[in-house]
Each structure stands twice: as structure tokens, then as C-alpha cells.
Amino acid sequence: MRSRVEGDREHLDRAFAGKRVLISGGAGFIGSHLARALVARKADVTLVDSLIPEYGGNLFNLHGIEDRVRLNIADVRDEHSMKYLVKSHQVFFNLAGQTSHLDSMSDPYTDLDINCRAQLSMLEACRKENPTIRIVFASTRQIYGKAARLPVDERHPLAPIDVNGINKMAGEWYHVLFSRVYGIPTCALRLTNTYGPGMRVKDARQTFLGVWIRRLVEGEPIEVYGDGEQLRDFTFVDDAVDAFLRAAACDGSAGEVFNLGGDERISLRDLARLAVEVAGQGEIHHVPFPPARKAIDIGDYYADYAHIRETLGWMPHVALREGLTRTLAFYRQHRAHYWA
Ligand SMILES: NC(=O)c1ccc[n+]([C@@H]2O[C@H](COP(=O)([O-])OP(=O)(O)OC[C@H]3O[C@@H](n4cnc5c(N)ncnc54)[C@H](O)[C@@H]3O)[C@@H](O)[C@H]2O)c1
């Protein structure tokens, strides 16, 4: 594996051929896209996913590659299963997570067990059974909390404002610690809002955008909370997958944390307008911010992703309009697999 990828697509394509790769959360939104990309690069792919119904796993996400991956229906909280699974793999993309911010407030211990304790036990399993395994962890911009300055780079203070953010932060730091102290080549990607085909649309547990997509496909109005002035950035899932691949294929990533981002900073109000325009139907209703959401809203956020651009040569390629078009087209065709 080379020290710097610098957009070398050929290197990236070759880096995973024949590699034994494990993906936790592999039946979820991003994990399944990653699995598809790895199968195309001839990797030997094993997925682990609990398929807990309230979470984002969906077997249809694996449509077309189900015969080319191994799927282990197991929970990352099960130390025995994970100990066995990490043993035989060279690369571990660690994406399994409880993703709902509101659920983390109403049921904080489940979030703690999955996003914090299980992360530590998986790393302990790697340390004992397979300390040379490369690990890429799916972290989140939520750990910054409310931005003190914009754009947010990796040196921005971490001050999460919900239980999920605190547990994801701990999960991320365990990964970095195990790299620095034990030399296990881990790194973390701090994802911003990631969207695309296969994203959670049945409810707002992952993001409001998923619900908007579903309602637009149904021809229903979409709701914007408050004035919708909050600025955000978005990453299309193919670009996020590209970042995961680069992070695993590049020696320069060990012990690092990287922001992902998007080039189009947009207010939620303008995003709603764009989504309605792209869908060709639907209307926007402004409604008061639900108090439980307002209490954990991070306000404006957009990332500075210079660190990953300079270290791994990553940058986003799919524009928001294009990404929304592809996402809406996917759900128009496959909605029966995602909501009744
Ligand atoms: N989608 C985003 O915008 C976004 C933003 C920031 C961070 N992330 C992080 O990226 C990762 C993947 O997110 P996603 O958007 O694909 O979500 P997702 O819900 O579609 O995927 C997560 C997967 O993890 C599985 N899972 C959950 N708990 C598990 C457990 N205990 N054992 C085994 N599997 C379990 C779920 O079944 C699901 O398939 C998560 O860790 C999330 O925190 C995502």
C-alpha cells in the first residue's frame, strides 16, 4: 500500500483485489455501497450486521451482490462473534452504529453499548487477535457540537450536544488511541450529512433529508423546521465510499482523523426548494422546530476537508442536484423495498 493515493484510481482499484475485508454495518446505507465498490474491486467481502428492525439495515441494499459477499447476522456487541470475525481479515471498515440522535437521548444506554463499549471491545479483539488489521471508523461531524467558527476543521474543539455525539466521540478516540499506543493502523472519517440511494427514508432517525425524499416521491409536502436558515454541507454516498477506500489504501492515514464535506453550502430552506424542483412535485411547509430537536440542533455547519484532500487526494465529485436526482430516481423505482 502506498503512502499517498493522490487520486490514483488505478492504485485504488488494485489495492483491494483479493483482500479479505470485513464491514460492520454492511447491510446499512453506506456499508452496502462500500461492499458493492469492494466486490467490483475483487475483494473478498464479509459483512456483519445485526439487522435490528428499527435501524438502517436492509437486505435490498445488497441487491445484485448477495451472492458475492458473506453476510453474518451478528451484533457488534457480541464479543465472541467479533473476536472470531476480526481474526481472519486484513481490512475492517467499522460502520455499525446506532445513528439516531433523538433515540440516543431517550435510550442513552443502548447508544452507549453500541457506539462506545462495543467499539472498545472490537478494538481489544483486534489488539489480541489481529493487530495488523487496518481499520477505518465511521465517525461524525456531530462530535463538534455547535460550530464556534466556520468552516470546521479537525482542530475545532469537540463539544457534542447529544448522547450520540459523546459516544461516537469516544468510539473515535478509542480508534485513534489504539493506533497511537498499540500501532494498529486505524483512522476515522468524520462524515457530514451523507445521502444517496439506500439512505434511511422510512423515518427521520438518520436525517430529515430521508423523510423529504420519501414524501417527495409520494407527492406529499415536506416540512422545514423554523426559518430553515441553517447552513449545511452534504456528501453523496459514492464520494463517501471513495474516502473510505482511500483511507484504507493509504499508509499516511494511520492515527488520523479526517473531515468529509461537500462543496455546496446550502441552507435547509434552499435545499428544500432544490429537492422540490428536482422532484418536479411537492411543496414546502414551514413548521415550528419540535422542542426535542431544537435542543440538540447544531445550527450552521460546514466542513473544511483540506486535510483529507491533501493527505489522501479525496474531494467530492457529485453535485447536490445530480445526487438528489439519482436518489429520487432510485426511490421511485424501489420504494416498495424501503417503505410500505
Ligand atoms: N449517513 C450519515 O449521514 C452519517 C453521518 C455521520 C456519521 N455516519 C456514521 O456512518 C455509519 C453508517 O451510517 P449509515 O448512514 O450507513 O447508517 P445505517 O443505519 O444505514 O447503517 C448502520 C448499520 O449498522 C447496523 N447496526 C447497528 N447497530 C448494530 C449492531 N449493534 N451490531 C451490528 N450491526 C449494527 C444497522 O443494522 C445498519 O445496517 C454509522 O456509524 C453512522 O454513525 C453516518
The pTM of this model reads 0.96
Ligand 1: distance of its center to the CA of 25 in Å? 6
Query: Does the pLDDT of residue 312 top 70, yes or no?
Result: yes
pLDDT at position 207 is 81
- Would the CB of 114 count as within 6 Å of ligand 1? yes
Summarize the chain as % helix, strand, coil (round to 5).
45, 15, 40
Query: Does the pLDDT of residue 7 top 70, yes or no?
Result: no
- The SS3 of residue 105 is helix
| Count of C-beta atoms within a 10 Å radius of residue 264 | 17
pLDDT at position 37 is 98
**What does the DSSP assignment read for 312-326?**
H-----S-HHHHHHH
pLDDT in tens, 314-336: 999 999 999 999 999 999 999 99
| 297 burial via Cβ count (<10 Å: 0-12, 13-18, 19+) | middle
| Count of C-beta atoms within a 10 Å radius of residue 332 | 12
Cα angle vertex 201, ends 299, 54, to 5°?
95
CA R_g for the chain? 19
pLDDT in tens, 258-306: 999 999 999 999 999 999 999 999 999 999 988 888 888 889 999 999 9
| Count of C-beta atoms within a 10 Å radius of residue 250 | 27
Q: Which three cell numbers stand for residue 205?
A: 432517525
> Residues 104-111: what's their mean pLDDT?
97
Could you tell me the CA-to-CA distances from 280 to 217, 223, 275, 328 in Å, in that order?
10, 17, 8, 10
Q: Which atom of ligand 1 is found nearest the CA of 164?
A: 43
Ligand 1: distance of its center to the CA of 98 in Å? 6
- Cβ pair 75, 110 in contact under 8 A: no
Q: Which three cell numbers stand for residue 42?
A: 475483487
pLDDT at position 1 is 45
Q: Which three cell numbers stand for residue 68?
A: 458475492
Query: Does the pLDDT of residue 216 top 80, yes or no?
Result: yes
Place of cell 476537508: 305
- Would the CB of 295 count as within 6 Å of ligand 1? no
Nearest CA to ligand 1 atom 11: 95
pLDDT at position 12 is 85
pLDDT in tens, 48-106: 999 999 899 999 999 999 999 999 999 999 999 999 999 999 999 999 999 999 999 99
Ligand 1: distance of its center to the CA of 56 in Å? 6
pLDDT in tens, 168-201: 999 999 999 999 999 999 999 999 999 999 999 9
Query: Does the pLDDT of residue 2 top 50, yes or no?
Result: no
The preferred substitution site among 50, 99, 192, 234 for testing ligand 1, maximizing ligand atoms within 8 Å of CB, is 99
